[in-house]
Structure 1
Amino acid sequence: MPRSVFSMRRHVLRLLPGVAALALAAHAPQAAAQDYPDKPVKIVVGFAPGGTNDILARLMAAKLQDKLKQAFVVENKPGANSAIGNDFVAKAKPDGYTLLVSSSGGLTTNPILMRSLPYDPAKDYEPIALLGSFPLVVTVPASLPVNNFAELVQFAKTRKDGKLDHGTPTTSFVLVAETLTEHAGLKFNHILYRGSGPVVTALLGGEIQVGVLDSPAVLQQVKAGKLKALAVTTEKRSAALPDVPTVAESGYAGYDIPIWTALMAPKGTPEPVLAKLRTAVGEILKDQDTIERMHALSLEPGNADSAALGRRITNDIARWSGVAKTANIKPQ
């Protein structure tokens, strides 16, 4: 055998292990997606139990468990307007086994209102699905002597400093409340809590006068007569609270601000795994049982259009930046 041919064969044989390794590496994501999930998946929520993000996360966990035949476990990591939980997921191993259910606030207002935020919503996550959107509800204790939004505005003017103590679980709710104060001439003293559940407790105890809160968190207490719902922030009335007028109907035409919740994964999660999750979640959001359960909570089901979700995050950051500038709200 000529020396040149022998040398070439020997060179090829030396390369074979590397070629095989590259082939295996290229095949690994597809294999991972086929087997995914082969162990429990953690869904992190940056708020205490009881609010919309927690409720949605538990609904999705149960549905995903049924569909993908593996445990999906919700873990609450409240604090810092959900930044603690969001940052935990941003720094988690990007393998599909740590996911995030985040409010729109955690993704679009924390970057505006929080100085030195440890995560970047545009760079640290892979969008999976918009889970749902919902109105916020202007809510007061049953003992407060007001029965509609106009009376709340008048009540605020009777107070010595003209301000109402407003309980809020997240920065996005602060900005929505600020749009209310701009339209109606109200003044709020914002008090931050670790979730919507604790704000509801504060309302029931008379510690605060008003909460602009996610509808699922207040429905039970409103229907029980322990809290009063004065208005919703969306253009249309809530199916779960059909007798509660919109802010627009209360005298502020054009007012329409929904809040939303999304499912995200750490940046770098393999695309085949993301595709499997998007397909599963997309099917769940179209399931009639899911739709009925979400409507009962005043939630509008979302979709698994991850590109649209990415654009929404970018657009909402720009929108809320304008609100914060108008209200002269500085990052803290």
Structure 2
Amino acid sequence: MNFSRRAIVALMAAGTTALSLVATPSLAQDAYPDKPVRIVVGFAPGGTNDIVARVIATKLTERLKQSFIVDNKPGANSAIGNDLVAKSKPDGYTLLVSASGGLTVNPVLTANLPHDPTKDYEPIALLGTFPLVVTVNPSLPVDNLSQLIDYARKNKGGTLDHGVAASSFQLVAELLANTAGVKFNHINYRGSGPTVIALMGGEIQVAVLDSAAVMAQVKAGKLKALAVTTAKRAAALPDLPTAAEAGVAGYDVPIWSAFMAPKGTPEPVLAKLRAAMKDILAEKDMVDRLHALGMDPGNTDGPALMRRISTDIERWKVVAKNANMKPE
């Protein structure tokens, strides 16, 4: 078959165009990131998720040679920020650092949640696990969890005003109260920072909070820590007993943080982020920083993280049902 010179040129041009259409997405993914990346946190500044997000943003900026910027979007127990990411373009330029509550408690306690954590995200890394700390205002005449329980029963009709920084914290506290035989009157705040301020100001009597948000105030004597919510003592607060040690037998409730991307984010982008995070989570200064926050470092096992999300949702459904907590 004979072709004219014009036909050959046209065929070559068409082939070049077709190749460019195929190659462009791959080249774009290989170049990732070639513009600033936003890391959304669904809480006000000051809590563990915000602190960890800022640490990994700095690390990723250094490693991937592009700016990673933390964007706080507090509200609705982190559902606003989480939903923003779930509905963002899945190109790797809008990511999420989420508390476990945003992924596992909101589906249980939030009516008509507009996204599904089991379907709308791609896992990048489990950043770490940590205990919450049962914390009180120093003016309260108690020195340990057992005394707090007795104080509630004798002086407050068995009920204490409890500051809620996140829905997951509320369920953890509710399980503690139910197990200990007291009640908490839950008062909502927009994150750990505002809850700490309320606790120091005497607006509330007790708060179950992330260790990173309270350690400085505890060490300064502005707050009093009574116990941690995990079976194992926190590395950052080795002298603080567990709730089980303090008399609430069998109580063990860890909290965790995760790094996620919108569903449909290209696998090469996810692979680059996971590779970077695997190295970051193993770096000594990162491990030391997490330990200082009371956290055990996580990993980049995506399937395990997704299984954890599904399992925790089922666990919190049982706790919420037993506590008669309904979606709102």
Asked if residue 129 in structure 1 is aligned to residue 97 in structure 2, the reply is no
Taking structure 1 as reference, are residues 331 and 281 closer, same or farther at Cα in structure 2, changes over 3 Å only? same
* Letter matched to residue 228 of structure 1: K
Deviation at 1:264, TM superposition (A): 0.6
SS at match of 2:318: helix
* Letter matched to residue 194 of structure 1: R
Q: Which residue of structure 2 aligns with residue 251 of structure 1? A: 247
Q: 1:230 aligns with which of 226, 229, 234?
A: 226
Map 1:13-162 onto structure 2 (within 5 A): 17=14, 23-162=19-158
Taking structure 1 as reference, are residues 39 and 232 closer, same or farther at Cα in structure 2, changes over 3 Å only? same
Structure 2: which 5+ runs fail to align?
A: none
C-alpha distance in 1, partners of 2:67/2:317?
39
Q: Kindly provide the CA deviation profile for residues 239-275 of structure 1, in whole angstroms up to 9, marking residues without a partner as x.
A: 1111110011112232211100001111111110010
SS at match of 2:38: strand
TM-score under structure 2 normalisation?
Answer: 0.95
* Letter matched to residue 230 of structure 1: L
Q: Which residue of structure 2 aligns with residue 299 of structure 1? A: 295
Identity across aligned pairs (percent)?
A: 66
Asked if residue 242 in structure 1 is aligned to residue 210 in structure 2, the reply is no
Q: Which residue of structure 2 aligns with residue 276 of structure 1? A: 272
Deviation at 1:20, TM superposition (A): 5.6
Deviation at 1:30, TM superposition (A): 3.0
Query: Is the Cα–Cα contact under 8 Å of residues 131 and 285 in structure 1 kept in the other structure?
Result: yes
Structure 1: which 5+ runs fail to align?
A: none
Q: Kindly provide the CA deviation profile for residues 160-209 of structure 1, in whole angstroms up to 9, marking residues without a partner as x.
A: 44210100111111110111012100100111110000000001001000
Aligned residues: 327
Deviation at 1:14, TM superposition (A): 7.3
C-alpha distance in 2, partners of 1:196/1:78?
11
C-alpha distance in 1, partners of 2:299/2:156?
47
* Letter matched to residue 298 of structure 1: G
Query: Is the Cα–Cα contact under 8 Å of residues 48 and 77 in structure 1 kept in the other structure?
Result: yes
* Letter matched to residue 88 of structure 1: L
Taking structure 1 as reference, are residues 208 and 249 closer, same or farther at Cα in structure 2, changes over 3 Å only? same
Could you say what the CA RMSD is over the residues aligned between the two structures, in angstroms?
2.1
Q: Kindly provide the CA deviation profile for residues 57-76 of structure 1, in whole angstroms up to 9, marking residues without a partner as x.
A: 00000000010111110010
SS at match of 2:77: helix
